[in-house]
């Protein structure tokens, strides 16, 4: 079972639907006990960094997420959820993050001529085998649940990682 953390900042319906489509059971929850008793945890996200962190703190989920990592339960952050894994964001001023991956999330410079926030159908190009990763904490800046076969394969890979976590505990 995969827990999708419910903190009102995610594309949770599509994530849950994509996981079901590829054969993984998932539950949308903010309940600490449920989150700590699954095979994997997914932190989706759409929106702004500071308000998302505020809701995670308000619901007591920051400590729960840290306990997930302490227990070595696989954790995947998607889009804003990936950004929250880092130590800090400079979006609209410095805001501390979860601190699970070293580094700072920087704003897209406005002088590049890109729309901010940058959204659209871009092609993903792999420059290195792994992007945001530390131990069993993984992050994807884009939305795999909206990225066709490639995105579903990435979610399938995460699902397979959660099965190895379950097998190690048996």
Which among 87, 90, 118, 145 is annotated as catalytic? 145
CB 7 within 8 A of CB 61: yes
Q: Which of 79, 87, 107, 133 is catalytic?
A: 79
Q: Annotated catalytic, 91? A: no
Active site residue 145: yes
* Rg, the chain, Cα only: 15
Alpha-carbon distance of 161 to 164, in angstroms, equals: 5
Beta strands in the chain (DSSP E): 2-5, 26-29, 40-43, 75-78, 86-89, 95-96, 101-105, 132-134, 137-140
Instruction: Point out the catalytic residue in the list 58, 107, 130, 143.
Output: 143
Active site residues: 79, 143, 145
């Amino acid at each position: 079972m995969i827990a999708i953390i419910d903190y009102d900042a995610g594309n949770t319906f599509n994530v849950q639907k994509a996981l079901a489509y590829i054969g993984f059971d998932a539950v949308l929850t903010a309940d600490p006990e449920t989150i700590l008793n699954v095979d994997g945890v997914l932190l989706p996200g759409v929106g702004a960094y500071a308000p998302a962190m505020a809701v995670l703190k308000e619901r007591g989920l920051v400590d729960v997420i840290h306990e997930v990592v302490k227990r070595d339960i696989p954790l995947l952050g998607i889009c804003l959820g990936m950004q929250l894994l880092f130590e800090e964001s400079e979006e609209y001023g410095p805001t501390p993050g979860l601190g699970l991956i070293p580094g700072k999330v920087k704003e897209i410079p406005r002088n590049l001529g890109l729309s901010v926030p940058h959204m659209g159908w871009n092609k993903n190009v792999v420059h290195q085998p792994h992007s945001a990763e530390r131990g069993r904490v993984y992050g994807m800046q884009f939305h795999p649940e909206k990225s066709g076969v490639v995105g579903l394969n990435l979610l399938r890979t995460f699902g397979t990682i959660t099965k190895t976590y379950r097998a190690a505990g048996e």
